[in-house]
Amino acid sequence: MNIAECIDHTVLKPTTTISEIERLCSEAVQYGFPAVCIPPPFVKRVATILAPTSVKIATVTGFPFGYSVTEAKVAETILAVVDGAHEIDMVINLIALRQNDWAYIQKEVSLLREVCHNKGRLLKVIIESGILSDEEIIRCCEKLGGLGIDYMKTSTGYAEKGASLEAVHLMKKHLPESVKIKASGGIRDYAFAKALVDAGASRLGCSASVAIVTGAPDHQLANY
């Protein structure tokens, strides 16, 4: 398998320009990345740019801190779907997590899953694993893994720590087989990207995607 096929080619910084977005789309087509992950204001434009291709559009909800009220996250998600997003990466409410309010988190995730699945879209739930304890990561898997989500995602890339092999191993062990894993945050080279896939991640959120792919040994790039 070509590792490029695991990568969501990503730019989410708040100063992103349309020229950067256009380059991101061009690179996704050139290198065979299955999706781009972009800020919500660019979704409608990118839907036009990528219409002739098979590249999917992912965008974010409640990003990057997760503490938007549920109604705002639902509205963001609906608009993203209307604009042409195929996949939604939403951040859970970490305030609720630290208060052990799992009923709130489960209700919010379930509402967004319903919005996404009713329109044939995928939902990825970001738990920000780098700032959670192992016990909290396991709890996320136990409480959210059975809600019909498509992916659990490690990180936004904005916390002090991003993806780790340890977090991916924990998620792989405690999530149902139906829930895939997306690792993101701090993935800058082929060796780490490959290690995360080997640990159980099936998608990678990367802004250094081109460097990762071009830095792969030729035989591994062709056959991974």
Q: DSSP 3-state assignment of 87? A: strand
Chain-wide mean pLDDT for the chain?
A: 95
Distances (CA, A) of 52 to 9, 21, 59, 103, 121: 18, 16, 19, 42, 19
The contacts found for 41-46 with CB under 8 angstroms, 24 or more apart, are 42/16, 42/18, 43/80, 43/83, 43/84, 43/85, 44/83, 44/84, 45/18, 45/21, 46/21, 46/84
Nearest to 68 by CA among 90, 84, 47: 90
Is it true that the peptide bond before 64 is cis, omega within 30 degrees of 0?
A: yes
Distances (CA, A) of 22 to 6, 16, 25, 37, 52: 21, 11, 5, 12, 14
pLDDT above 70 coverage of the chain, percent: 96
Mean pLDDT of 204-218: 89
Q: Residue 46: is its pLDDT beyond 80?
A: yes
**Residue 147 in tokens:** 């809600």
Asked if 80 and 58 count as a contact pair (C-beta separation under 8 A), the reply is: no
What's the pLDDT at 100? 97
What's the pLDDT at 1? 59
> Rounded to whole angstroms, how far apart are CA atoms 40 and 14?
11
Domain boundaries, the chain: 3-223
What's the pLDDT at 2? 87
pLDDT digits (tens, 9 = 90+) for 161-210: 999 999 999 999 999 999 999 999 999 999 999 999 999 999 999 999 99
pLDDT digits (tens, 9 = 90+) for 1-23: 589 999 999 999 999 999 999 99
pLDDT above 90 coverage of the chain, percent: 95
pLDDT band with cut points at 50, 70 and 90 for residue 92: very high
Distances (CA, A) of 54 to 32, 209, 210: 9, 18, 18
Q: Residue 224: is its pLDDT beyond 80?
A: no
Q: What residues are labeled active site?
A: 89, 153, 182
What's the pLDDT at 222? 36
Residue-by-residue DSSP string for 14-57: TT--HHHHHHHHHHHHHHT-SEEEE-GGGHHHHHHHTTTSS-EE
Question: Which CATH number is 3-223's, of 3.30.70.360, 3.40.50.2000, 3.40.50.300, 3.20.20.70?
Answer: 3.20.20.70
